[in-house]
Chains A and B, each alone.
Chain A
Amino acid sequence: MEHYLMNLTLKVWRQKNNQAKGKLETYQVKDISSEMSFLEMFDVLNEQLIVEGKEPIAFDHDCREGICGMCSMYINGQAHGPWQQNTTCQLHMRAFKDGDTIVVEPWRSGAFPVVKDLVVDRSSFDRIIQAGGFISVNTGNAVDANAMPIDKKDADNAFMAAACIGCGACVATCKNGSAMLFVGAKVSQLALLPQGAPERESRVLNMVAQMDKEGFGNCTNTYACEAECPKGISVANIARLNSEFLLAGLSTEEK
């Protein structure tokens, strides 16, 4: 693929800490290669800032191969930037052209408070998992793995839901700051598998209760979450979450 160099203007959200007031700062970067990843472009900018005696921009990132879910930039008004089904770390500079201005903000949601610059606190997701995103099986309790055949279709669907990387793009994208796609993905994965059956009802009720407690908004079916999800998690999982929630609510009342 033909590669090219570009000069860019960046407007980046800077915020010293959780208490401080933030604002967009403008930076120029030169001779950025189209073969670089977006975060490598940020590396270049940060190196430049350090040499100039300024503070580099804090941003979360780790694996840089689109699977750990740590990177989280809101680029030109889109979670993870312009490419479909893609994380920030896998976005490459060939998505941009010479002279472009790029606006970079952190995830915006009340349930994800800013830690510094582009870094946010997503521990609310961990607490939702703690509320029920598991199957209660202590080490050593398991039967032979092939003792329970599972319909390939169910297994495949469970896998597709389980592919969620917990990045929070769905929340950042949603106008309501809803975490329904994240919660729906985990509830679906475990509801589709027979191993998840014993805790099926309590799981969905507890996870939804925790989700509400953390201050995430409700779903109004705009499907923006699915459109921006880097792993293409389907909104069908939200439908399943709703149906699981309803059924669990009805049957627990009976008990």
Chain B
Amino acid sequence: MALDAKIPQGEMDKKWNDYKGHVKLVNPANKRKLEVIVVGTGLAGASAAASLGELGYKVKAFCFQDSPRRAHSIAAQGGINAAKNYQNDGDSVFRLFYDTVKGGDYRAREANVHRLAEVSTAIIDQCVAQGVPFAREYGGLLSNRSFGGTQVQRTFYAAGQTGQQLLLGAYSALERQVALGNVTMYARHEMLDVVTIEGKARGIIARDLTTGKLERHFGHAVLLCTGGYGNVFYLSTNAMGSNVTAAWKAHKKGAYFGNPCFTQIHPTCIPVSGDHQSKLTLMSESLRNDGRIWVPKQKGDNRKPADIPETERDYYLERRYPAFGNLVPRDVASRAAKERCDEGYGVGTTKMAVYLDFKDAIMRYGKIEAGKAGILNSTDQEIFKLGKQVVEEKYGNLFEMYEKITGENPYEMAMRIYPAVHYTMGGLWVDYELQTTVPGLYALGEANFSDHGANRLGASALMQGLADGYFVIPYTLGNYLADDIRTTSISTDHPAFVETEKQVSDRIDRLMNIKGKQTVESFHKRLGKIMWDNCGMARNAEGLKQSIQQIQQLKAEFWSDVRIPGEANEFNTELDKAGRVADFIELGELMCIDALNRNESCGGHFREESQTEDGEAKRDDEQYSYVSAWELKGEGNWELHKEALNFEIVKPTQRSYK
């Protein structure tokens, strides 16, 4: 099948308006008859379900957690971008568009990114109207801060809990629609397959995680808003339950998977402390506004950070990238940290960490505060105290979190940080309308591949999730459903539902009957290690080929020796996890295949065979300026389709943050 991204004709800044002006509409009486399934209730899912409910569609929403409010969007810390230009610092829709395409290392689709930048401003309006308590200045107007990879202040935030506040806004809109009867909510339910009839998505098979019972649900269309797959690495900043299962089942039903190897390794996370580690915790990128990153100039320097004098510190980001300094994009910051640690300059017990130091910022703010208060001749201690209050107001909750986890006080002692898997730019391939290659099956938010190319800029994930849910899907879905108004609800006794449910139930039986010796967790850990070692920040062909073999072996071992206690017809978290890990194993293989195919260093990924003389990443536009869209042809067998990327506006150049 040839890929058609369905990008509207016309000039870049008119495409979306033109599209909206000519898109097919569904009249209110017909909307009431059309059913839509939304899987996942994070920013994309909750906003989509609420908005579609408001429009009058009959919506069914699903989440695996005990409440839609738990979705992992809630953990996003730093902020959300919008081209409001409230700071009068030269921002515009064009700049946000430009920064995002460039930040994505020229592997995103321009038309999608432009639309994202256009609707960004309406998101902030909508959220404020819902009562989202963004940070404000004393004049009562909204506050902004800057984020990595940009030179303007366009990030809106609510302390270090922006994701929580945005999600609770979308959640409250969703619950309002539940109360109005427009949305039916199915919590503690997991989607285990898509049902297709005559080539169109017509429903899902879901498992009630409390009773273990399988359920059939019909929908005229199915929206997957199921987040990213960072947990394929076992350790990541994702929630424990975050998984690829819904997207993977869609892939198995014909949806192409786009750029699976594009993973974001976030530079500022709390380092791993030992083998017991179950997840990693992010320290918001916003900390790089005020924190300075450094390592000792001397290898293996074991002194406490405060005892290492200024002259013996290497502020390597400021040294290598003077124009952006500590605010280089995430991929650049992560690779630079890895480089220093690999060279032996790392700190802490594991030596796989660098310092993020707030001493200078505290003193700088302290002096400003002392000045404001007219305190002359204040001591360093007094200045520190005043400055600490400012830093506390900005990042207090993050500092507390750091202290709880590490037992160290970051006001007194420099934080230790190291990169960790955080976000997946890859995902289900979608066209401009967010439709996958299966008609009627859509993917929104992190679950799709579309807007961030090979590297996502900070504060863009929240923006994309809400853009897709609030402002894109209400239009594009109507364009599809307008042709479907004559389709009456299909009975879930239809053979396609019966057949799909049987496949799901057979797979569960197969899993339960293995009765092997090894735990699900142990397989997940092994998969994670293979992926991190060979398909993480740095890759090479040799390692990737090896890891493909290792994953195939792991898969065979899993299906012959995994142990799942309990029964299928009850609350059984090990069974839930087993299904997810089985899908991660298959995805892991595809990620390595994709990474092997992409013989260029691009965005977050350093392909060792493709570097400049001074060791910087080297992109290869001539050969790889395309989206890899993988079609599953059979077990372990994929065909690559390429969507060529044409850059009309932002002409690709080698990125420089020097």
Contacts and interface: CB of A to CB of B under 8 A. Distances in A.
Interface in A1-52: 1, 16-17, 33, 35-37, 39-40, 43-44, 47, 49-51
Given A68-B239, A134-B175, A141 B129 contact: yes
B7 interface: no
Contacts of B172: 129, 133-135
Which of the listed residues B69, B129, B400, B522 has the most CB atoms from chain A within 10 Å of its own CB?
B129
Contact of B175 (A66, A67, A126, A151): A126
Given A92-B405, A139-B471, A47 B142 contact: no
Nearest to B474: A139
Contacts of B125: 142-145
Contact of B565 (A54, A121, A151): A54
Given A43-B276, A63-B75, A125-B67, A92 B129 contact: no
A130 interface: yes
B136 to A, nearest CB: 4
B404 A162 contact: no
B72 A62 contact: yes
B348 to A, nearest CB: 11
Given A58-B571, A60-B66, A152-B136, A130 B175 contact: yes
Contacts of A115: 210, 571
Interface in B562-596: 563, 565-566, 570-571, 573-574
A129 B161 contact: no
B187 A123 contact: yes
B74 A67 contact: yes
Closest 8 CB pairs of A and B: A149-B140, A142-B129, A134-B172, A1-B407, A142-B125, A159-B133, A130-B179, A145-B128
Kindly state the interface size class of chain A when it binds its partner: 35 or more
Interface in A46-83: 47, 49-51, 53-56, 58, 60-70, 83
Contacts of B135: 155, 159
A134 B173 contact: yes
A123 B66 contact: yes
Interface string A158-189: 11001101100000000000000000000001
A124 B239 CA distance: 24
Which of the listed residues B66, B69, B75, B125 has the most CB atoms from chain A within 10 Å of its own CB?
B66
Given A129-B172, A158-B133, 20 more contacts: A1-B406, A40-B276, A40-B278, A43-B276, A53-B565, A58-B573, A63-B72, A68-B71, A68-B75, A70-B66, A85-B400, A90-B401, A115-B210, A119-B66, A123-B67, A131-B179, A141-B129, A146-B142, A159-B158, A162-B158
A142 B176 contact: no
B276 A36 contact: yes
A190 B169 CA distance: 11
A139 B55 CA distance: 9
Contacts, number: 222
B67 A122 contact: yes
Interface in A85-144: 85-86, 90, 92, 94, 115-116, 119, 121-123, 125-126, 129-131, 133-144
B17 interface: no
Interface residues of B, number: 85
B137 A152 contact: yes
Contacts of B239: 62-64, 68
A133 to B, nearest CB: 6
A239 interface: no
Contact of B571 (A1, A40, A116, A149): A116
B277 interface: yes
B178 interface: yes
A33 B50 CA distance: 45
B436 interface: no
A13 to B, nearest CB: 15
A33 B129 CA distance: 47
Contact of B171 (A123, A129, A158): A129
B84 to A, nearest CB: 7
A247 interface: no
B273 interface: yes
B470 interface: yes
Contacts of B470: 139
Contact of A129 (B165, B175, B406): B175
B91 interface: no
B278 A195 contact: no
A79 B277 CA distance: 24
Contacts of A47: 519, 521-522
25 contacts: A36-B274, A39-B278, A56-B565, A60-B66, A61-B240, A62-B70, A62-B239, A65-B237, A65-B401, A67-B75, A67-B161, A68-B71, A68-B74, A70-B65, A92-B405, A126-B185, A134-B172, A139-B47, A139-B50, A140-B471, A145-B84, A149-B139, A150-B136, A152-B136, A152-B138
Contacts of A219: none
Contacts of A121: 66
B122 A142 contact: yes
A163 B164 contact: yes
Contacts of B571: 17, 58, 115-116, 119
B341 interface: no
B131 interface: yes
A50 B179 contact: no
Contacts of B128: 142, 145, 148, 195
Contact of B278 (A37, A68, A143): A37
Nearest to B185: A126
Contacts of B406: 1
A163 B132 CA distance: 11
A166 B69 contact: yes
B51 interface: yes
B283 to A, nearest CB: 10
Contacts of B164: 67, 163, 165
B131 A66 contact: no
B159 interface: yes
A55 B565 contact: yes
A195 B131 contact: yes
A122 B69 CA distance: 12
Given A61-B240, A142-B129, A33 B136 contact: no
A121 B127 CA distance: 29
B621 interface: no
A193 B141 CA distance: 13
A146 to B, nearest CB: 5
Given A37-B278, A50-B565, A55-B565, A134 B65 contact: no
A166 B211 CA distance: 24
Nearest to A167: B70
B130 A195 contact: yes
B389 interface: no
A229 B84 CA distance: 36
A57 to B, nearest CB: 9
Nearest to B573: A58
B151 to A, nearest CB: 22
A217 interface: no
B238 to A, nearest CB: 9
A143 B125 CA distance: 6
B285 to A, nearest CB: 15
Interface string B42-65: 000001001100100000000001
A90 B405 contact: yes
Nearest to B470: A139
A106 B243 CA distance: 26
Nearest to B211: A17
Given A43-B278, A64-B278, A65-B75, A134 B130 contact: yes
A78 to B, nearest CB: 16
Contact of B178 (A43, A67, A130, A141): A130
